[in-house]
Amino acid sequence: MKKSMSKRMIIMLVIVGAVFAAIIGYQMFVASMMKQFLASNAQPPATVTAMQVKRELWQSQLGAVGTLRAIQGVEISAEIAGIVKKVHFKSGDEVNKGDLLLELNSAEEAAQLQSLQANRKLAEINLDRDKRQFAVHAISKSKLDATQAELTSRIAQEAQQQAIIDKKRIRAPFAGRLGITRVNPGQYLNMAERIVSLQNSRALYIDFNLPQKYVGQIRQGQTMTVVDTQNSDLAISGTISTINSVVDNSTRNVQVEGLIDNSSGTLLPGMFVNVKVDSGAPQKLLTLPQTAISYNAYGSTLFVAKEVQGDQEGKSQLVAQQVFVKTGDKRGDQVVILEGLEEGDTVVTSGQLKLKNGTPLIINNSVQPANDAAPKPQEK
């Protein structure tokens, strides 16, 4: 009887152990399947580029488009009509002040001048004779005064005729470079007809406009930079020479005049250029490549790489977290971040289109986006 009871106990213990083993095996199987399910439904990692945001020295600038104007420039023309006798210049010549450029035929005026000179000499002889006669009381004072007036009139007529001849000898009013002319000897020139353009472009004015809100940020003598639109490598420093005393009531812009040195002759009057005016003192601001920012109707956002705890093994990983930021001025490929970031934060700079909050990140900076404050075209 005792042997039968012990056999039953042994059988019961075996059965209970088997049940417990089955339960534990089932739980392990369920945990394994759950782990595989979670792994299969986890977000795959995304490969991005990233950089730590840092402060850089930033000079705020006001931008505008301006037009170059010669410091001295005229369209030379004839004051009086006449036939061209001789042209003393060629198109594109550099001339000095007072250089003879063109002569009109003045033979008739020269003949009249000789006649007037003879009359003036006769008036001088008459005055000299009357002075001697007046000294011995041979003539009256009124006769001497009339002779003096006659000489004065003759001198004035001679000077008038000489002025007419001088007008037919056209000279450069200042030093500069001549333009293209189509005037030839024998050609008849009408009064005020254009002969050639003369430009003194050793220094150039730049005329540009700025919105009225920037009036308080500009002043006479302020530094500015002029950049050729066709050659971004060409940047010339200058200063603001004049600020208009009124604001245009139709555009609400104020006209500004700058002055630059152009002794190299690289720039020409009439060209349009980009103007950058330094505004305020340089500041250290957080900057990022513009590719890092996503501009939306509800605000500007970017993704920050955050380190979080991983699986049970205790490993950490980087995940994406979307952040709203406030942006400021732009300069080349860079943009200022005013709010939303701290110095040292790791920011995704490219590849963020495939990200959402919690996406695991793999950072590969073998190819970085452009981040130049003064970018230049790679192909010319």
pLDDT tens per residue across span 125-134: 999 998 999 8
Which pLDDT does position 56 carry in this prediction? 85
Whose tokens are 């639109």? That residue is 229
Residue with more model confidence, 311 or 196: 196
Taking each helix axis from N to C terminus, what angle separates 141-167 and 107-135, rounded to the nearest 10 degrees? 160
Confidence of residue 365 (pLDDT cuts 50, 70, 90): confident
- Using the predicted structure, report yes or no on whether residue 182 has a pLDDT greater than 70: yes
Which pLDDT does position 7 carry in this prediction? 67
- Using the predicted structure, report yes or no on whether residue 240 has a pLDDT greater than 90: yes
Which pLDDT does position 184 carry in this prediction? 93
255 CB burial (10 A radius; 0-12, 13-18, 19+): middle
Average of pLDDT values for 95-120? 93
340 touches 323 (CB < 8 A): yes
Which pLDDT does position 69 carry in this prediction? 93
Average of pLDDT values for 292-306? 89
Q: How many CB atoms lie within 10 A of CB 66?
A: 20
Distances (CA, A) of 159 to 110, 113, 124, 125, 134: 12, 9, 15, 19, 29
Domains of the chain in start order, with CATH, are 46-58+283-363 (2.40.420.20), 62-70+196-278 (2.40.30.170), 106-167 (1.10.287)
Average of pLDDT values for 208-218? 91
Element (H, E) at 227: strand 223-228
Which pLDDT does position 115 carry in this prediction? 93
Structure-derived torsion over alpha carbons of residues 356, 357, 359, 365, reported in degrees to the nearest 10: 80
- CA 271 to chain centroid, in Å, comes to 12
Which pLDDT does position 41 carry in this prediction? 47
* Across 234-243, 304-313, 348-357, least confident range: 304-313
pTM: 0.62
204 CB burial (10 A radius; 0-12, 13-18, 19+): buried
Confidence of residue 122 (pLDDT cuts 50, 70, 90): very high
- Using the predicted structure, report yes or no on whether residue 92 has a pLDDT greater than 80: yes
Confidence of residue 330 (pLDDT cuts 50, 70, 90): confident
- Using the predicted structure, report yes or no on whether residue 33 has a pLDDT greater than 70: no
Residue with more model confidence, 137 or 198: 198
| Arithmetic mean of pLDDT over the chain | 85
